[in-house]
A = this chain, B = another copy of it.
Amino acid sequence: MKKSALQIARAAYRPQLPNVLDGPVKVKEGEPTVSAGDQEEIKKLFPNTYGLPEIVFEKAGTAAQSKPLNVGVILSGGQAPGGHNVISGLFDGIKAINKNSRLYGFLMGPGGLVDHNYKELTADIIDEYRNTGGFDIIGSGRTKLETKEQFDKGLEILRELEISALVIIGGDDSNTNAAILAEYYKAIGAGVQVIGVPKTIDGDLKNNVIETSFGFDTATKVYSEVIGNIQRDCNSAKKYWHFIKLMGRSASHIALECALQCQPNICIISEEVEAKDLTLDQVVDDIAQAVVARADQGLNYGVVLIPEGLIEFIPAVKRLIAELNDLLAAKAEEFAAVEPEAQRAWIISNLSKENAATYESLPAGVARQLSLDRDPHGNVQVSLIETEKLLSEMVGKRLATLAQEGKYKGKYAAMHHFFGYEGRCADPSNFDANYCYGLGYTAAMLIAAGVTGYMSSLRNLTFAPVNWVAGGIPITMMMNMERRHGHMKPVIRKALVELDGAPFLKFVKERENWKIGTCYTYPGPIQYFGPAEVCDQPSLTLVYEQKRRKY
């Protein structure tokens, strides 16, 4: 690998550990915990790992004599900046415990455990990846660890390598599966601990004990950099409306954070659209009204941020998609026989009145996508819909109508962008570099403490890393029962944007100013070497959330 100048310089960065981890630690146990919901059912499903206490590490006077630890590590799901630092923190942690400890990486995600694909991660390999983005040290994958067969197959290789603990770095689903695996290995007396690490750029794995997931900070900073650049272009050329879609299908945290950073004219928050039961036409109307209001002041340009998952949050569209899925499954043969040009009419005549109206309101291209592009299960592929183009096109039509009515005299031209892959593998910001390294190091301490079914945890994140509180949270504490694929399952509750939360309220307070005024802020690229106020700031979401929590 030919390294860039930045990579070489950045390799020397020493992540800051919490003070407490700088030397031997002892465990301080809190009170027994309960799950976030459905306590009885969760307790029944996790008899061996339910009700465990929260753990906080404290400084110990002298180091206990510790045996070497053989540990396995897995990267699960989509990439997030800082994954390599979790692994290097874990490596340094188990080496600090005993220099003969060994770390094995399972390759290309959880599938590597099941299929026995692994490699030992030695110091020279680890050193190549410190403070770098990507998951390429061992690769990642989306295989779900769910079945007893997988667990048993995995145990074979864990035993062969004498691995006594497995660290799973993943999102809410992967950590749910880590908890199930921990329970299973505990139940059968396998002698393998399982520790989870909270990862996802989407920011939807957090709760009152996990302040944020890693990667969110860096990814939103990369998106904010390019959004800021586009805003500056927009404000220089003064002739385009830029519609910018941002990754994140389940929650709008990314869009909200970027809005707080960049102050665009408009940012749509899916959770608000759902709560207000807005139709697609109403969302379009709101944007069109803003375009008109700006045009009235001679400002024929602007920036709109759109969360990737918007379309699935619009209740009317959600109902349409549900009925379409049922309809096209029930009458698949009949539909297949319909001539292409007659398909639209066929669908409208077969839908309920309300859903037919929603379908008719969609641009032809999108409507066609909904009925033709289907995944292997026969379901509509919502992720293929280019929401940014859908909205700008519908806004354009609405403006044409308003112009005919004499209510709009501006010019309207749109540009489209989608940012996702640009940020998932960026070199971690100082925040994520420190946070991830600390999470990995803490995972090592949890392993040494002999616990299982815990998630590595660092808290007090808006303070300097030396003051962070390190410990572990029983994963079952975050769980409740939810319907998934028709069955009730124990899962970690996904954190959506809270409409009474401090970040959203801050946005609501400012957004009318941003809409008409041009209040763009230009965050610029992530800096690694400059003054602290430039290099070390955590996300605004975290800052506002934690500020509120203190009072």
- Report the minimal beta-carbon distance from A444 to chain B, rounded to whole angstroms: 23
Q: Is the Cβ of A526 less than 8 Å from the Cβ of B525?
A: yes
Q: Kindly state whether residue A279 has any CB partner on chain B within 8 Å.
A: no
Chain B neighbourhood of A6, CB < 8 A: 522-525, 527, 530, 534
Q: Which of B7, B9, B242 contacts A522 (CB 8 A)?
A: B7
- Report the minimal beta-carbon distance from A325 to chain B, rounded to whole angstroms: 23
Q: Is the Cβ of B526 less than 8 Å from the Cβ of A529?
A: no
Expressed in whole angstroms, the Cα–Cα distance for A148 and B78 within the complex equals 60
Interface string of A494-533 (1 = CB under 8 A from B): 0000000000000000000000000111111111111101
- Stretch of A61-69, A233-241, A265-273, A430-438 that contacts chain B: A233-241
Q: Kindly state whether residue A427 has any CB partner on chain B within 8 Å.
A: yes
Given A79-B237, A134-B235, A139-B238, A229 contacting B421 (CB threshold 8 A): yes
Q: Kindly state whether residue A5 has any CB partner on chain B within 8 Å.
A: yes
The interface centre, meaning the residue of A238, A417, A425, A523 with most chain B CB atoms within 10 A of its CB, is A425
The interface centre, meaning the residue of A134, A242, A417 with most chain B CB atoms within 10 A of its CB, is A134
Expressed in whole angstroms, the Cα–Cα distance for A49 and B4 within the complex equals 46
Given A229-B426, A427-B524, A236 contacting B415 (CB threshold 8 A): no
Q: Is the Cβ of A519 less than 8 Å from the Cβ of B236?
A: no
Q: Kindly state whether residue A2 has any CB partner on chain B within 8 Å.
A: yes
- Report the minimal beta-carbon distance from A63 to chain B, rounded to whole angstroms: 36
Within residues 401 to 452 of chain A, which ones have a CB less than 8 A from any CB in chain B?
415, 417, 421-427
- Stretch of A90-98, A181-189, A220-228 that contacts chain B: A220-228
Q: Is the Cβ of A136 less than 8 Å from the Cβ of B236?
A: yes
Expressed in whole angstroms, the Cα–Cα distance for A524 and B225 within the complex equals 13
Expressed in whole angstroms, the Cα–Cα distance for A530 and B10 within the complex equals 10
Given A222-B229, A422-B229, A534-B9, A4 contacting B523 (CB threshold 8 A): yes
Chain B neighbourhood of A10, CB < 8 A: 524
How many interface residues does A have (CB within 8 Å)?
60
Q: Kindly state whether residue A263 has any CB partner on chain B within 8 Å.
A: yes
Within residues 74 to 90 of chain A, which ones have a CB less than 8 A from any CB in chain B?
78-79
Within residues 204 to 250 of chain A, which ones have a CB less than 8 A from any CB in chain B?
222, 225-226, 228-230, 232-233, 235-238, 242
Q: Kindly state whether residue A132 has any CB partner on chain B within 8 Å.
A: yes
Q: Kindly state whether residue A135 has any CB partner on chain B within 8 Å.
A: yes
* Closest chain B residue, CB of each to CB of A424: B233
Q: Kindly state whether residue A133 has any CB partner on chain B within 8 Å.
A: yes
Q: Is the Cβ of A232 less than 8 Å from the Cβ of B537?
A: no
Q: Kindly state whether residue A3 has any CB partner on chain B within 8 Å.
A: yes
Q: Kindly state whether residue A317 has any CB partner on chain B within 8 Å.
A: no
Within residues 1 to 34 of chain A, which ones have a CB less than 8 A from any CB in chain B?
1-10
Q: Kindly state whether residue A382 has any CB partner on chain B within 8 Å.
A: no
Chain B neighbourhood of A237, CB < 8 A: 78-79, 135, 139-140
Expressed in whole angstroms, the Cα–Cα distance for A296 and B523 within the complex equals 44
Q: Kindly state whether residue A108 has any CB partner on chain B within 8 Å.
A: yes
Q: Is the Cβ of A425 less than 8 Å from the Cβ of B232?
A: yes
- Report the minimal beta-carbon distance from A258 to chain B, rounded to whole angstroms: 13
Chain B neighbourhood of A8, CB < 8 A: 533
Given A527-B528, A529-B529, A522 contacting B133 (CB threshold 8 A): yes
Given A229-B222, A529-B527, A421 contacting B426 (CB threshold 8 A): no
* Closest chain B residue, CB of each to CB of A427: B524
- Report the minimal beta-carbon distance from A284 to chain B, rounded to whole angstroms: 23
Chain B neighbourhood of A537, CB < 8 A: 5
Q: Is the Cβ of A134 less than 8 Å from the Cβ of B233?
A: yes
- Report the minimal beta-carbon distance from A149 to chain B, rounded to whole angstroms: 24
Q: Is the Cβ of A425 less than 8 Å from the Cβ of B230?
A: yes
Given A4-B521, A9-B530, A230 contacting B421 (CB threshold 8 A): yes
Q: Is the Cβ of B525 less than 8 Å from the Cβ of A225?
A: yes
- Report the minimal beta-carbon distance from A231 to chain B, rounded to whole angstroms: 8
Can you list 18 A-B pairs with a CB-CB distance of less than 8 A? Answer: A2-B521, A6-B527, A8-B533, A9-B531, A78-B237, A79-B236, A108-B238, A133-B232, A133-B522, A135-B237, A139-B236, A226-B422, A229-B423, A230-B425, A232-B425, A233-B421, A233-B425, A525-B526
Question: Which 6 pairs, one residue from A and one from B, show the smallest C-beta to C-beta distance?
Answer: A529-B530, A525-B525, A232-B425, A134-B232, A6-B524, A135-B236
- In addition to A4-B524, A229-B424, A529-B529, 20 A-B residue pairs with Cβ atoms within 8 Å of each other are A1-B519, A1-B520, A3-B521, A5-B533, A6-B522, A6-B525, A6-B530, A134-B235, A139-B237, A140-B236, A222-B229, A225-B525, A226-B422, A229-B425, A230-B425, A233-B424, A236-B425, A417-B421, A528-B530, A530-B530
